[in-house]
Structure 1
Amino acid sequence: MVFNFRVFKKQSPNGKLTMYLGKRDFVDHISGVEPIDGVLKIDNEYQDRQIFGQVVCSFRYGREEDEVMGLNFQKDLYLASEKIYPPPEKSTNTKLQDRLIKKLGENCYPFTFTLPPSAPASVTLQPGQEDEGQPCGVNYYVKIFVGDSETDRSHKRGTVTMAIRKVQYAPSKQGRQPCTVVRKDFMLSPGELELEVTLDKQLYHHGEQIVVNICVRNNSNKVVKKIKAMVQQGVDVVLFQNGQYRTSVASMETQEGCPIQPGSSLQKVVYLLPLLSSNKERRGIALDGHLKKQETNLASTTLLASPEERDAFGIIVSYAVKVKLYLGALGGELAAELPFILMHPKPDGRAKFIHADSQADVELFRQDTVDQEVDEDKFE
């Protein structure tokens, strides 16, 4: 039988343990997360040892260079753990595991981990140019080690780890078209100023222009001098009570059509394009979790089943378009906001929340990029 798919391989420093994974991105479907399935190949010298596997969520919430006097700004959460060897008496292998075991031969043992649905998404906060060490954010890795128990301290030479990501993809259906109307009246002045903002849709993919329709109706005696529109990224570091902040990741300012005199109106369309390339120097911007030496992008919107299910060690990302009308020093300003979703589309042919059960499903394990610290094997 000839089959063609790509796997990721990582070996412990002493060469006694070798981990194989079919992919490194595992999709969160809100109701559940794709299982992490792989195979461990053990050297003959380790046949009398116990081997354990774990999935670790590493949450760094402070700069590494500030860790002095015993301070530690990193929490490691063990979200899944099991004994891989000696193997359990009964186990059901996935198609990928069966094919790897057949190809690799003896001393191969399958493992499967299941993450809780509320596990936080992989997110990295962009460090400043002067920052050193590991950036803040949420990262995942699979760890397999030799020990006497799951809580035993692992030794580096007998441990193999591989970074993975927990990702979400955009829903298949668009939501309701975002639209809002805000008004402002003025003390001692008759009439009001009205601002209507509409987006052409609710869901955008990374790299897609956002079309903002602006309608201003000036029924007051004030003058609108300029208009500013921006895309704001909201970051909520759940661990901290005051851990919410916003950053503008795309903006434009115009005086075209201004001043808008009393009794006048203006309809205008502006285009905004939020991209990481325009925000390379901005410290603290949330990025999608990424593997070493791979390009990344602005973080995707975090989708939650309900607001109460926020994990305490997670980072929640949201986006909104904000439009401001400037009326001068005495008139103040009028602002309107519209939230929207920014995500990657679901890749073509990606399996649903199931194990691969057919030859066609095995093709889903193809990967376009590989972490440089991982050896890549292609079986044929």
Structure 2
Amino acid sequence: MVFNFKVFKKVSPNGKITLYLGKRDFVDHISTVDPIDGIVLLDSDYLNGRKIFGQVVCSFRYGREEDEVMGLNFQKDLYLASEQIYPPPEKREQNLSKLQERLIKKLGPNAIPFTFTLPQNAPSSVTLQPGPEDQGEPCGVQYYVKVFAGESEADRTHRRSTVNLGIRKIQFAPSKQGRQPCTVVRKDFMLSPGELELEATLDKQLYHHGEKIAVNISIRNNSNKMVKKIKAMVQQGVDVVLFQNGQYRTSVASMETQEGCPIQPGSTLQKVIYLVPHLDNNKDRRGIALDGQLKHQDTNLASSTLLAAPDQRDVFGIIVSYSVKVKLYLGALGGELTAELPLVLMHPKPEKNKLLHADSQADVEMFRQETIDQE
């Protein structure tokens, strides 16, 4: 049986350097990150006396491109990995992946393997949704693999002999559910006896994108106030770590109801509200965090960011979190009562790919020569 495996290919504008990657999504497993392994194919007459370097670049844009005036630049590029690919260092020991072995066998002696390792605390790929009238590159964290010809790793690259191919650093949902979120909040009133109690519970802690979130609400009104309205919402929290005040929250799904209201003094109410956070309902809202986007691919709301420890936050990262907030409205004099529950929103781990067999065939996806202008 012949299996097809996908290969991503991009050629430099001068046609002399070709980059092959087996995948463009690299998974952060909290303790380790998938290695970035690929092949660089060099033209025969390009090997004489030239050096080829490879780098993994994390590009963090924290301001709009259209606001860059008078020398301002709202973008930082971090070189997370960098090494000389050709001529290869003499002492380099390299365990080739199955994909690299197959490509070297197919492409011949001018195919040079490389492997890069990302640091554990490197930020995940996140894009902040631009407004309808915004132009230029969106804010967020993007990655790309860069291969170029030069004299040193710090050499100023020439566009014609440079290949840039976008990749993503992503996380998948853990295999086990965490503790079921539950909270009880109470409100008493200065000039009247009794208190209002709100108990909120989610059916689980971990949800996959597109899944319905069930919010179980229990209200016990032992005060002499009336509950006139109930509102539940899913809030996305975005923390741009670079800025001290770069934290904000946005409601990405909400429902308001007066069913069962008003809740009179001495009465109770049990209710379940269903919420589905989805990008389709937030298409034109500036600042919503999305999963890092590759060209020609749809995306979704950003997944929750999982950290090995709370203090392991890269200064160039964007940390995303979600919570459900339930509000009881008591009128102008009574005020509000609010309960909040954290949750995790992520993609499930995909099934493991089939092993490559000797009779596997490569399904090559080509990219146009739209290298990022480094001049």
State the TM-score, normalizing by the size of structure 1.
Answer: 0.93
**Structure 2 CA distance, aligned partners of 1:165 and 1:265?**
49
Partner-residue secondary structure (3-state), 1:305? coil
Quote the Cα distance in structure 1 between the aligned partners of 2:71 and 2:358.
49
Partner SS, residue 311 of structure 2:
helix
Structure 1 residues 360 and 278, CA gap change in structure 2 (3 angstroms):
farther
CA contact (8 A) 1:291 1:371 kept: no
Quickly say closer, same or farther: Cα 1:36–1:361, change in 2 above 3 A. farther
User: Structure 1 counterpart of 2:83, which letter?
Assistant: E
Aligned residue among 334, 337, 340 for 2:337: 334
Does residue 44 (structure 1) correspond to residue 44 (structure 2)? The answer is: yes
Secondary structure, counterpart of 1:359 in structure 2: coil
In the TM superposition, residue 87 of structure 1 has moved relative to its aligned partner by 1.1
Letter in 1 for 2:165: M
Q: Using the alignment, how far apart are the partners of 1:137 and 1:348 within structure 2?
A: 29
Please state if 1:19 is matched with 2:19.
yes
Residue in 2 aligned with 1:79? 80
Give the C-alpha shift of residue 28 in structure 1: 0.1
Paired with 2:358 and 2:198, the residues of 1 have a C-alpha distance of 51
Q: How many percent identity over aligned positions? A: 76
Q: Which runs of 5+ in 2 are unaligned?
A: 371-375
- 1:229 alignment partner in structure 2: 232
CA contact (8 A) 1:55 1:78 kept: yes
Question: Counterpart of 2:269?
Answer: 266
Contact 1:293 1:371 in 2 (8 A): no
Q: Residue 29 of structure 1 aligns with which residue?
A: 29
Map 1:146-295; keep pairs closer than 5 Å: 146-295=149-298
TM-aligned CA deviation for residue 53 of structure 1: 0.2
Q: Which residue of 1 aligns with 2:96?
A: 93
1:359, CA displacement in angstroms?
3.2
Corresponding residue of 2:373: none
Between the aligned partners of 1:326 and 1:100, the Cα distance in structure 2 is 64
- 2:2 touches 2:359 (CA, 8 Å); kept in 1? no
Relative to 1, partners in 2 of residues 1:360 and 1:27: Cα closer, same or farther, differing over 3 Å? farther
Quick one: distance in 2 between partners of 1:360 and 1:196?
56
Aligned residues of 1:225 and 1:259 also touching (Cα < 8 A): yes
Change (3 A) 1:372 1:323: farther
Q: CA deviation at 1:92?
A: 2.4
Q: For the residues of structure 1 that align with 2:57 and 2:368, how far apart are their CA atoms?
A: 18
What's the counterpart of residue 355 of structure 1? Answer: none
* Aligned residue identity for 2:80: L
Whether the 8 Å CA contact 2:10–2:367 is kept in 1: the answer is no
Distance 1:2 1:203 in 2: 38
The one-letter code of the counterpart of 1:4 is: N
Residue 41 and residue 334 in structure 1: after superposition, are their counterparts in 2 closer, same or farther (change >3 A)? same
Q: Which of residues 295, 300, 306 in structure 2 aligns to 1:297?
A: 300
Give the distance between the partners of 2:212 and 2:358, measured in 1 at CA.
34
What amino acid is the match of 2:276? Answer: L
Give the corresponding residue for 1:318.
Answer: 321
The alpha-carbon deviation at position 188 of structure 1 amounts to: 1.4
- Offset from partner CA, 1:191-248 (integer Å, 9 cap, x none): 1100000000000000000000000000111110000000000000000000000000
Code of the aligned partner of 1:180 = T
Structure 1 residue 290, shift from structure 2 partner:
1.1
* Cα deviations by residue, 1:292-311 (Å, 9 ceiling, x for unpaired): 12100000000000110000
- Given that 1:292 and 1:371 are in contact with CA atoms closer than 8 Å, whether structure 2 keeps it comes out as no
Does the 8 Å CA contact 2:304/2:344 hold for their aligned counterparts?
yes
Q: 1:344 aligned to 320, 342, 347, which one?
A: 347
Measured in 2, the distance between the counterparts of 1:99 and 1:79 equals 27
Alpha-carbon distance in structure 2 between the residues aligned to 1:92 and 1:264: 69
Q: Provide closer, same or farther for how the CA distance between residues 374 and 217 of structure 1 changes in structure 2, counting only shifts above 3 A.
A: farther
Whole-angstrom distance in 2 between the partners of 1:21 and 1:82: 17
Describe the shift of the 1:366–1:195 C-alpha distance in structure 2 as closer, same or farther (beyond 3 A): farther
Structure 1 residue runs of 4 or more that deviate by more than 3 Å after TM superposition: 358-363, 370-375
Q: Which secondary structure state, in structure 2, belongs to the residue aligned with residue 100 of structure 1?
A: helix
Per-residue CA distance 1:122-170 (angstroms, 9 max, x = gap) = 0000000110000000000000000111011110000001000000000
Distance 1:114 1:362 in 2: 29
1:222/1:262 contact within 8 Å kept: yes
Structure 1 SS opposite 2:201: strand
Separation in structure 2 between the aligned mates of residue 45 and residue 278 of structure 1, nearest angstrom: 54
Q: Tell me, which stretches of 5 or more residues in structure 1 are unaligned?
A: 352-357, 376-380
The Cα of 1:372 is off from its aligned counterpart by 5.8
Matched, 1:359 2:356: yes
- Distance in 2 (CA, whole Å) between partners of 1:109 and 1:371 is 19
Distance in 1 between the 2:368 and 2:292 partners?
A: 16
Residues 164 and 374 of structure 1: is their aligned pair in 2 closer, same or farther, counting only changes over 3 Å? farther
Contact 1:218 1:260 in 2 (8 A): yes
Partners in 2 of 1:164 and 1:211 — Cα distance? Answer: 35
